[in-house]
Each structure stands twice: as structure tokens, then as C-alpha cells.
Amino acid sequence: MMVKVKERNITIDIMRLFFSICVVCIHINPFTGGLNYIASRIYTLAVPFFCVVAGYYFYERVINDKVYCYIYIKKLMITYIALSLLYFTTNLYLQVKFDGYLTIKFYTIFVERCLNGHLWYLVAISFDAFLLFIFVVLKKEKYLFATIIPIAIYSQLRTNYINIFTPWEKLQGKIQLSFNSLMGLSNRVILLSLPFFLMGAYFAYKKDFINKVTITQSKCILLTATIVYLIENIIIIMGHTSKYNGNYVSPLYFISCFFIWCLKNSKFFSTDSRHSYYCKHFSEIIYYIHPYVWFWISTMPILDVFKDISDNGTVFILVLITSMMFALLFIFILEGIERIRDVSRKCENKYGEDQ
């Protein structure tokens, strides 16, 4: 027996997979020159899309089951701790190779990857979920939703146009480097993940209204958002307005419209819920372990096969294929666990009938 799969939004799961590949592109940069800069404008939509999806499904569950918040954050933290321990093996390897000795520190294992690596996302979503949960319990979530646009505008102005600093950053230069990294994490949580997470939750909050939107209307608003996003990025590319990915106003608009389109076109791709379920796991595993795979391919080439690889495009393909192999292994293990559970249930039922 295979893993039981409930009805899923196939479009969202496939776009998760696409954007997880975009995250790999952000880190490895498989393209060069102007093409890389243009492609990076697509990559910037990856994490915002993940945050919107997370916010939507979290609010949809927690509004009816308050205990779900505990389950959700517990799952994220277990994942974070497990991955932190996994990535710690890279630190051990580097210490032995360059220093010749081992030092095991709590900071190195559980904090460094969060502050300076991609696992900040798990901490950010945990914070966003807990904050939203508090407002849900108080039945004041509409006030939290009212902060979405102001936060997005603030992040836009702060990054691109005027010299605004958060209270954290005013202390920069006066405290240690680890706390400077903490400032960067706080900015990611508050200025990047939070507005998109809340926007996803807002769509779940207004689900009745979203259900009234027709497929044609969703296509029209997506087309409008695409034009706005293209215009802004043309201005950025031609005028070199920003070197960073801090333009969150039009991405917030674009991702919101794109997510509505995904909700209204849940079966845009011709596949079934089982393949959609696999896409979800593929996207998660690719996102979580691709830096680990990249490290070992780059640092410890097997039999010197990858010793002379310098082309980022080749490295990107190797990392992606290897990460997908890990994803297949994970799905195979899930299938095996489900088969064992199914056999156990059958044996229990048979034993009960015999009694």
C-alpha cells in the first residue's frame, strides 16, 4: 500500500518545486553576466512564495485547531535541529582539515547556520506563526493583517531610496559580529518573511471572497501584476536603482496575484495528487540539503572526478541531481514505513477477528 494522499493543490506543489530550484540558483549562480542579473529577478520570488503558501495553510488549520500551532512550530524546530546537526558535520570536516583539532560549540551547531545560512527560514516561519497565533487567539488578526503594506513599503524605502536603519542596526559596530548577524536575521524575519506570511494568512482569512474570483479574473490580475513587476525591474536594471533584493512592494503584489491564480487553477498541470505530494517533498528536501550536497561535491570530490569543476552550471546540475536522489530516497522510506504500518494494521485486525 502506498502513502495515503489527500486532495492537493497540484499547481502550488509544482510551483514549490520550481521555486526550490530557484533557491539553488540563488546560491550557485549557474548563469553569468546580464542573464544572471535578469534571472535573479525571478529567483527573488522564491522565498516570498514559500512564505505566502506557509501562511495560507497555517491559518487555514489554526483557525479551527489552536493546538496545531504547537504541532506546526514543533515540527519546524525538530527539522531545524536535525538539519543543524547535519550541517555541523561540514564544520567538523573543515576543522580537522585546516586546524587539525575538534571543537564542539553550541553556537556553531545551532546558531551559525540560522544566522548565516538558509535555515533562517525555519526560524522566521516559526516566529511568524507564533505571532499570528497570538492574534488569532485574541481574535484580532485583522489588526496584524493591516501591517502588511506598511512593512512592505518600509522595506522598499529602507533598501532602495532613503537611509533608514532599524534600532538593531544603530548598534552595529558597537557589538560583536554574531549580534550583527542577528540583526540581519531580524530584518529577514520582519521585513521579508512576515509580510508575505501574513498575506498568505489573509487569503485564508478572506477565503470566501477568493472563492468568488473566477479563473478569468485571476488571469487578468496576474497579467496586471506581471506588467507592474516587469516595469519595476526594468527601471532597476536600467537605472541600477538597487543592488539588492529589497524591492518588496511589487513582489508582494505579484506573488499575491500569482498565489490567487494558483488557488483558482489548482489542476493547471496534468498530474494527480500523488505526484503533487512527491513534488512537495522534492521541493522541501532540495531547499534544505542542497548547500550540504554542494559543500561535499566542492570540498571532497570522490576519486577526483569533480576536482577540476569550475563551471557553476555544471555544479548546479550535479547538486540538483544529487539532491533529487536524496528526495527519492526519502520518499522510498516513507513508502516503506507506510507499508509496515499497513501490514501491522492488518495483523491487528486479523488477531481481533480471531479473538
C-alpha closest to that of 45 among 188, 286, 226, 251: 251
**Contact indicator for 48, 192 with CB cutoff of 8 Å:** yes
Q: What percentage of the chain reaches a pLDDT higher than 90?
A: 23
pLDDT for 50:
94
Q: Tens of pLDDT along 103-156?
A: 666 555 556 656 657 888 898 999 999 999 999 999 999 999 998 888 887 776
- Block residue for cell numbers 502550488: 12
- Separation between Cα atoms, residue 342 and residue 84, nearest integer Å: 33
pLDDT for 131:
94
pLDDT for 102:
57
State the CB neighbour count (10 A cutoff) for residue 231: 11
Q: Tens of pLDDT along 278-315?
A: 788 888 889 988 888 887 777 765 545 555 555 777 78
Q: Tens of pLDDT along 249-270?
A: 678 889 999 999 999 988 777 6
Residue 233 or 71, more confident: 71
204: pLDDT strictly greater than 90: yes
**Contact indicator for 22, 318 with CB cutoff of 8 Å:** no
**Contact indicator for 147, 76 with CB cutoff of 8 Å:** no
